[in-house]
Amino acid sequence: MPAKDDSLTIGEVAARSGHATSAIRFYEAERLIVASRTRAGHRTYARHVLRRLAFIRSAQRVGLTLEEIRELLAVLPAERSPTKAQWGSLSNAMRRRLDATMAELEQLRDTLTSCIGCGCLSLRTCPLSNPGDAAGRRGAGARYWLGDDPADVMAEAAARGVGP
């Protein structure tokens, strides 16, 4: 249990972190943060919980799932402030995840225009990037997004006599 002068009530944590008290209780239930209880049963939190909550908010803003956040926070001690090395470990893991997300976003940005730029708005009938629904023959999902090469899809369509 944190020292009295180092502990915060749930209301104080909410005010300092900008999270609703319900969110703080949820994160506690999900074991992302740890609370102690007073003799009267009230929750108290060590000040280092504010850092964890700030990380949770930042991670959510960039689209990380609760499970991903849990995995990243697992490298930090829940009961005390992390060391610089522990934050560095979390930072490196977060950097790898953010780099992957940024690559996906760049791919989406760079291919989105070609996907809807012509105005037909139909991947099933698009004569330029998916003649005869050639991409759909390769399986479910966004085939180009999943890594299928549009040139290969076009070649398969041409071999079947479908295309522009």
What does the pLDDT look like over 28-58, one tens digit per residue? 999 999 999 999 999 999 999 999 999 999 9
Question: Could you tell me the pTM of the whole model?
Answer: 0.64
How much of the chain exceeds pLDDT 70, in percent?
A: 84
pLDDT at residue 139 greater than cutoff 90:
no
| Strands, sheet with 7-9, edge to edge from the N-terminal-most edge strand | 7-9, 43-46, 36-37
Which H or E element spans position 36? Answer: strand 36-37
Question: Is the separation of the CB atoms in 164 and 128 below 8 Å?
Answer: yes
In this structure, which topology does domain 4-111 adopt according to CATH? Answer: Multidrug-efflux Transporter Regulator; Chain: A; Domain 2 (1.10.1660)
Cβ partners under 8 Å of residue 51, min gap 6 = 81, 82
- Residue ranges of the chain assigned to CATH 1.10.1660.10: 4-111
Question: Is the separation of the CB atoms in 129 and 121 below 8 Å?
Answer: no
pLDDT at residue 74 greater than cutoff 90:
no
pLDDT at residue 129 greater than cutoff 70:
no
pLDDT at residue 99, as a whole number: 92
Question: Is the separation of the CB atoms in 53 and 27 below 8 Å?
Answer: yes
Of residues 155 and 116, more confidently modeled? 155
pLDDT at residue 1 greater than cutoff 50:
no
The whole-number average pLDDT for the span 64-93 is 87
pLDDT at residue 79, as a whole number: 80
pLDDT at residue 3 greater than cutoff 50:
no
